[in-house]
Structures are given as C-alpha cells and as structure tokens.
C-alpha cells in the first residue's frame, strides 16, 4: 500500500510539473478561470491531454442544407471549417449567413471582438460572426443533435444501470432463497435502505407504484455523479452540474407530482379548508407558485453542489500554476504540487460522499413531494 501510494503521488507530481512547464512554453496565455469553465462545461469532444482529444459524433441540421453527420475530429482541433460549422472551445457553432461562396475553409482562432459580446471566427484578417444552435426559447437557423460529453456520459450511465440491474435480477432468479452474493450483495442494502427509509415513510402505502421512478432517479444521479469524479475518459463530464440535465430530472418530478395529485392536494393549494376566505385569496398564488418552486429547488441544489465541488478541485489544482508562476519557479511548482495532492485527495473523498448524498437528497425530496400529493384526507 505504501509503495502504491508513493507511486501515485510521484506520478501526480510529474504530471503537475510537466503541465506547469508546458504553461511556460505556451504562446497563448489566458486566465486560469477560463480553463476551469471549459472543464465543467459541455463539449463535443473529450480532452485527454495536450492536443490529444477523443472525438464525438456531430449531428447537425440547418434549414438551408439539411442534415450533416461527422465526427468532431473533422474540425482539426478547431482550425477547419466543416460545411460552415466551426469548433469554438469544444462547442460547435455555425458561421452566420454561411455559404460556399465565402471561401472560408480554415480559421486561426475563435473569440470576441472588442465592444461585442458575440463570438467570431477569424480567418485571413476577417472576422465572421458565429451562431449558436437554436433551442425552444431562441430559435436560430440550425439545430444541434450531437452526442456531447454529457449526452455520452448519460448514455453510458444508463447502460451501466441496465447491466447492473439485469445482473442482479439474474442473481435473484438463480439464487432464490439464498443469501446475496457478489454485485447482488452490494446493491441489495442500498436498494433496501432507499425503499425502507426514503420511499415507504414519505409516500405511504401506495409506495410500490412510485418505486421504479424514485429508484431510477437515485441510481441515475449517483452513477452520473461517480462518473464525474473520474478525471479521464470515459468519465470527467459534469453531467449533474449541468442545468439542462438537472432541469429535466426536476421536470419529470413535477409531471409525476402534478398527475398524481388528488383533489385534497389541489384543494389545499387553491382553496384551503379551515382558512378565512380573504386569506385564501392571498395564499392561493403563493401555494400555486410552490408547485413550481419545489422542483426548481431540486434542480438548483443538485447543480450547485456538484458544480461547486468540481470548481473547488480545479482551483486547488491551479495552485501549481500560481505558486510555480506557470513553470518559471520550479520550487513553487514542487511545493504547490505537494499541497495540491493533499488537498485534492481530501476534496475527492468529500466529493465521493457528496455524490451519494445528493442522489439520496434528490430521491428523498421527490418522495416527499409525491407523498404530499397523494396523501389522503384525514
């Protein structure tokens, strides 16, 4: 164990020193917080190290040219234009008003122009404004259906869950009446704990109807959290630290609660029994807003806690570059590396606990909201 720990620490030190020196040789310097934002943001490729990337499928649809399907490696690390599309810090964007007649095939860089908040691609001294993909609130000339880091990780998490649960089910069928063994013995206590301590007490005697939904939420959030703690492919994606992901999960909870709510639930929202009539008119808008505030707190809590953990770890890693002055001070690099290894190790242990805790809280609050919606009058 001591030899293994020594080897890991030595490897981390070599990694930190080499990256710090690479920062000294880099011709393009930018604030460290930009690297942090890039790491926690979604992207169309996995960055391994240096110029090594793992490409992902780009599935793009534009009104003027139809469907385009290709791998993100076709962008050649952001220097090539593919059918009007460019890679801007890992995100696919399209040149606004692009046509074949523009003759733009390669770009030097992407960024912002002074006095403008828009993003531009720069080629041969000219700036071409970039257009982000459209969505429900802001439609544009094209739509992005690509398999990004977050989408890939969610598909991987779903596959892992299928494998785990089918394997456990097979174990129960083959070992009927026997004590659990292997993966079955690991999953059973977790499943039993969530059922007996979370779902049953908070939902009540109709809990079996909602067990699949709550269990799916718990294990999906847990697997995504754990994959996010792995610093290399196929992990490293900040899935549950993405507002779109947490909003989708919270939206499912809102739909289940809304559909399951009985007349007593809605009566306590719009026309509370036992409350003076003038007060009912004052409380009804507040109670109705609470229908949406509850799932909103779900998505914000999960997003904020997971993102904060990633940002803190990345900031601790940044101590190497700060103390080492981007590789110019070797003593600072070495001392910063020792501090980084110690603090990051502690933070990763804390993040491992948070991964389970946030999955538990999401399942607990979902069960509470469902239980309140189906509670019988008494």
Q: Can you tell me which residue has the tokens 């739509």? A: 143
Q: How far is Cα 259 from Cα 241, in angstroms, rounded to an integer?
A: 28
Segment 125-136, tens digit of pLDDT? 788 888 888 877
Band (329; pLDDT cuts 50, 70, 90): low
Q: What's the whole-number average pLDDT of the chain?
A: 81
Least confident segment among 231-240, 246-255, 353-362:
231-240
Query: What's the CA angle centered on 115, arms 109 and 121, to 5 degrees?
Result: 20
Segment 276-328, tens digit of pLDDT? 888 888 888 888 998 899 999 999 999 998 888 888 887 777 777 666 555 55
Is the pLDDT reported for residue 12 higher than 80?
Answer: no
Band (157; pLDDT cuts 50, 70, 90): very high
Helix (H) or strand (E) holding 196: none
Distances (CA, A) of 39 to 33, 231, 238, 331, 348: 10, 10, 8, 27, 16
The count of other CB atoms within 10 Å of the CB of residue 342 is 12
The count of other CB atoms within 10 Å of the CB of residue 259 is 8
At 332 the pLDDT is 58
Segment 236-271, tens digit of pLDDT? 888 998 888 999 999 999 999 999 888 888 888 888
Q: How far is Cα 119 from Cα 359, in angstroms, rounded to an integer?
A: 37
Burial class (CB in 10 A: 0-12, 13-18, 19+), 203: buried
Q: How far is Cα 25 from Cα 19, in angstroms, rounded to an integer?
A: 10
Distances (CA, A) of 307 to 7, 92, 245, 354: 30, 23, 13, 11
Put the strands of the sheet holding 126-131 in their side by side order: 85-88, 91-95, 126-131, 119-123, 109-112
Is the pLDDT reported for residue 7 higher than 70?
Answer: no
In this structure, what DSSP letter does residue 199 have?
I
Residues in the chain: 378
At 200 the pLDDT is 92
Chain center to CA of 323 = 30
For residue 107 the two structure tokens come to 């770009």
At 5 the pLDDT is 43
Q: Mean of the pLDDT values across residues 4-25?
A: 43
Q: Can you tell me which residue has the tokens 């070797």? A: 330
Q: How far is Cα 287 from Cα 293, in angstroms, rounded to an integer?
A: 10
At 21 the pLDDT is 43
End-to-end CA distance of the chain: 60
Entry pTM: 0.82
Contact at 8 Å (CB) between 129 and 104?
no
At 336 the pLDDT is 65
């Amino acid at each position: 164990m001591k030899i293994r720990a020594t080897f890991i620490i030595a490897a981390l030190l070599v990694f930190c020193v080499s990256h710090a020196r690479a920062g000294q040789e880099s011709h393009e310097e930018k604030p460290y917080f930009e690297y942090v934002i890039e790491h926690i943001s979604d992207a169309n490729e996995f960055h391994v190290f240096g110029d090594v990337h793992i490409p992902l499928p780009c599935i793009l649809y534009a009104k003027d040219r139809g469907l385009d399907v290709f791998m993100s490696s076709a962008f050649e690390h952001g220097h090539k234009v593919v059918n009007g599309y460019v890679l801007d810090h890992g995100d696919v964007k399209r040149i606004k008003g692009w046509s074949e007649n523009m003759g733009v095939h390669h770009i030097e860089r992407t960024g912002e122009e002074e006095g403008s908040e828009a993003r531009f691609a720069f080629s041969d001294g000219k700036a071409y404004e970039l257009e982000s993909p459209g969505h429900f609130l802001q439609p544009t000339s094209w739509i992005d259906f690509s398999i990004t880091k977050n989408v890939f990780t969610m598909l991987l998490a779903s596959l892992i869950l299928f494998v785990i649960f089918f394997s456990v089910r097979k174990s129960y069928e083959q070992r009927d009446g026997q004590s659990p063994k292997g993966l079955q013995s690991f999953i059973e206590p977790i499943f039993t704990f969530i059922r007996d301590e979370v779902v049953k007490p908070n939902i009540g005697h109709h809990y079996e109807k909602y067990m699949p939904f709550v269990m799916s939420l718990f294990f999906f959030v847990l697997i995504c959290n754990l994959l996010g703690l792995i610093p290399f492919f196929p992990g490293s994606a900040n899935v549950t630290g993405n507002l779109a992901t947490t909003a989708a999960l919270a939206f499912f909870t809102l739909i289940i609660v809304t559909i399951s709510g009985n007349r007593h639930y809605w009566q306590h929202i719009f026309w509370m029994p036992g409350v003076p009539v003038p007060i009912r008119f004052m409380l009804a808008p507040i109670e109705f807003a609470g229908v949406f505030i509850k799932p909103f707190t779900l998505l914000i809590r999960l997003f904020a806690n997971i993102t904060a953990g990633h940002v803190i770890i990345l900031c601790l890693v940044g101590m190497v570059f700060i103390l080492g002055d981007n590789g110019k001070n070797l003593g600072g690099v070495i001392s910063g590396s020792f501090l980084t290894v110690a603090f990051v190790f502690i933070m990763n242990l804390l993040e491992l606990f948070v991964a389970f805790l946030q999955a538990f809280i999401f399942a607990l609050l979902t069960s509470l909201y469902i239980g309140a919606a189906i509670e019988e009058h008494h």
